[in-house]
Amino acid sequence: MLIKAPESGDVPKCSHHANLATNSRALRRQLRCPVALELLQYRLNLLENAYLRLQRQWPKVVAGPIPSFECFKVAVAVAYSRCFRSSQGDEPLNMVFAPLTDMMNHDHPTNKNVRAFFNEAGEMVAESTQHRSAGEQLLITYGELPNLHLLQSNGFTMSENSYDFAVVDAQRLLSMIPETNLQFLLEKSLLLPDPEGKVSRWQPVSKRLEKAIALYASSESNFLQQMVEDTLSTFTTGYGEDRQLLETLESQGDLDGASMRSLHAARIRFQQKRDLLKILN
């Protein structure tokens, strides 16, 4: 599919997800959450590298001017947030468009009221799982996804997300582990990799992380609590400040682009701090 750049060079009006993509730099300025910033920066790096490849290949296959980077980001955001993954038999996984179905919003798996799937003929089927009255919203699910994933991949967050989890700055732990042992911990899934395959500085709080702490920092008392405090110190906003901002934004009606970015940023910060403080308490 070819998405043609407008002749004026302006970014076309597009979906909420795509608008977030075109304003990713503004979103990063508002986030002020280190782990979310790292994930968004990595995604932006991928886009920039893909755009460089597009610039090299474009003259070989398309007659006309190369679209701007802003238009390219819109195209990627629209395609990524509107596509469904499909495979038939031994065929490789494909990304396909499914008009109308792609207009349904995401909710948690337990709240969905539509089951969307591909039948044996490769046709998209959207099947209601319960009776819905005219005017009621139809909901599908993208899966059990935390807000950190939803924001970087789909451009939105949810007000109440039971799949969120606390992420800590593990630099204190990583500095105590010999370099030769880091690969072992990755292979055993005791530590998670960053998008480039190296041990990530940011680790979810889990039994696996606690096991890694027991292996390499057992002599340190309250080590996990120290990492939580390290993580909280990386934020430049306070917990109460974020809660007040979040309550204000969520109580408003339609938000403009800047306010919507503030909402997502405040939601990410507040939920991370809330889950981190639960560990300390």
The pLDDT score that the predictor gives to residue 14 is 42
- Our CA dihedral for 122, 75, 35, 48, rounded to 10 degrees, sits at 120
What tokens does 58 get? 């474009």
Report how far residue 143's alpha carbon sits from residue 133's, in angstroms, rounded to the nearest whole number.
25
Tens digits of residue pLDDT in 106-152: 898 888 899 888 888 878 888 888 888 888 888 988 889 999 888 88
pLDDT band at 208; cut points 50, 70, 90? very high
Mean pLDDT, the chain, integer: 83
Tens digits of residue pLDDT in 24-64: 667 777 788 888 888 888 888 888 999 999 999 999 988 88
The CA distances from residue 153 to 43, 96, 202, 247, in Å, are 9, 17, 18, 25
